[in-house]
Amino acid sequence: MYEQALKLKKLMEQKKPPTEFDKKVKVYCVASGKGGVGKTNLSVNLSLVLQNLGKNVLLIDGDLGLANIDVVTGLYPKYNLSHILTAGKSIQDVILDGPKGISILPGASGLYELANISSSELEILIKSFNSISSIFDIIIIDTGAGISKNVLSFIQSSHEVIVVTTPEPSAVTDAYALIKLAYKHCDTINVIINKADNYKEASFTMGKLAKAAKKFLNIDIRYLGFVLEDKTVLKANMEQTPFLIKYPNGLASKCLINITNKLLYGQEIHNEGTVTIEGWFKKLMSFIKTNVGAL
Ligand SMILES: Nc1ncnc2c1ncn2[C@@H]1O[C@H](COP(=O)(O)OP(=O)(O)OP(=O)(O)O)[C@@H](O)[C@H]1O
Ligand SMILES: [Mg+2]
């Protein structure tokens, strides 16, 4: 953990020229209606591809469930954000050094416990985020399944949502319910069809979702692509290593690389972030406060 803090500190020193003082991050929230559709696996491996492409990624674990980022990466966190307030830890102590240079912020699902902190405590947390403001280009938030107040707050605080579904009809229905909630809050609704048998099945599934979104919500949703059902995902999970590292030439890895390229370069308008990391955190905490009594 000490080495961990040192590494982040080093990164902070390297990356803090005055011109980058107000560096902006782009925030993506990975969500699904139905559980177990592959959010955590896709979030971790998407973060790895983005980091490989030269972006500095902060992967946030916003899932209350058991099978979390730690299971996929083999990293078990010691601290979360509350320890900054209760145990005098710094944000560098909390953030884990993940594979291939990604950073992981664990236990953000516990933020609801912080909904009622005093304004001076909130200020301490905001300052903590400010201290890492020059580092990250992209935030990926892995959320829990369904539409809880936790997930709602993460969606509201993000620029874009990445909806994950499988071709299974019940998963598609739940994905639509999520899109219905998210489209009012985010600039872009992206969709990934996971565990598809083939290209045709994925396109058909996406077609159904896109048609419903157009007809009932009058919005266009963006197809990022599909990930094939692939044994390497489960095998990599058993070995607690991301599939992109363990099986870089596997089908799932190849599909995910295509998806990431589309996410980054597939839009005409270059999609840069518009908030600083502490600005994003402030926004998230204000949504959390508002949503305490919601849903
Ligand atoms: N493309 C794929 N091919 C085969 N198996 C997959 C694929 N994607 C995910 N899986 C498997 O599906 C299961 C669920 O994956 P994961 O934990 O990533 O889903 P999740 O959406 O994060 O679940 P939860 O809703 O519980 O958080 C895991 O056993 C994983 O190995
Ligand atoms: Mg998960």
CA distances to 54, 96, 158, 193 from 106, rounded to whole Å, are 23, 8, 18, 26
Could you give the CA distance from residue 146 to residue 34 in angstroms, rounded to a whole number? 6
Ligand 1, from 34, 41, 154: best to mutate by most atoms within 8 Å of Cβ? Answer: 41
**Model confidence at 67: pLDDT above 70:** no
Q: Are 164 and 31 in contact (CB under 8 A)?
A: yes
Residue 111, pLDDT score: 76
Q: Where are the alpha helices (DSSP H) in 119-189?
A: 119-130, 149-156, 169-182
Q: How confident is the prediction for the chain on average, in pLDDT?
A: 89
Q: Is the CB of 38 under 6 A from ligand 1?
A: yes
Residue 237 has pLDDT above 60, yes or no: yes
> Which one of the ligands is nearest to 69 CA?
2
Q: What is the CATH number of domain 30-280?
A: 3.40.50.300
Is 167's C-beta closer than 6 angstroms to any atom of ligand 1? Answer: no
Tens-place pLDDT, residues 85-141: 999 999 999 999 999 999 999 877 677 777 778 889 999 999 999 999 899 999 999
3-class secondary structure, 110: helix
CA-angle at 36, arms to 31 and 40, nearest 5°: 55
In whole angstroms, give the CA distance from residue 2 to residue 199.
46
* Whether residue 171 has its Cβ less than 6 Å from ligand 1: no
Which pTM value belongs to this model? 0.92
Instruction: Classify strands 26-31 and 138-143 as parallel, antiparallel or unpaired.
Output: parallel
Distance 31 CA to ligand 1 centre (A): 13
Angle at which helices 169-182 and 149-156 pack, to 10 degrees? 60
| Ligand 1 pocket, residue 51 CB under 6 Å | no
> Tens digit of pLDDT for each residue in 203-219?
999 999 999 999 999 99
Q: Which of 185, 191, 174, 180 is nearest to 218 (CA)?
A: 180
CA proximity to 48, closest of 40, 217, 191: 40
Ligand at minimal distance from the CA of 229 is: 1
Q: Which residue has the tokens 């009594």?
A: 293
Residue 63 Cβ inside 6 Å of ligand 1? The answer reads yes
Q: What pLDDT sits at residue 266?
A: 83
Q: Which of 1-10, 129-138, 180-189 is least confident? A: 1-10
Q: Which atom of ligand 1 is nearest to the CA of 230?
A: 3
Distance separating alpha carbons of residues 155 and 212, to the nearest angstrom: 21
In angstroms, the first-to-last Cα distance of the chain is 37
CA-to-CA distance for 221 and 203, rounded, in angstroms? 13
Nearest to 224 by CA among 161, 156, 151: 161
Domains of the chain, residue spans = 30-280
Q: Which pLDDT score, from 0 to 100, does residue 18 have?
A: 46
Tokens representing 146 are 């369904």
Residue 8: is its pLDDT beyond 90? no
pLDDT band at 274 (very low <50, low <70, confident <90, very high): confident
pLDDT tier, 15 (very low <50, low <70, confident <90, very high otherwise): low
Question: 39-43, 80-84, 225-229, 246-250: which range is least confident on average?
Answer: 80-84
Query: DSSP secondary structure string, 45-82?
Result: HHHHHHHHTT--EEEEEE--SSS-HHHHH----S--TH
Only one residue has tokens 């990624």, namely 57
Q: Determine whether the shortest distance from the Cβ of 195 to ligand 1 is under 6 A.
A: yes
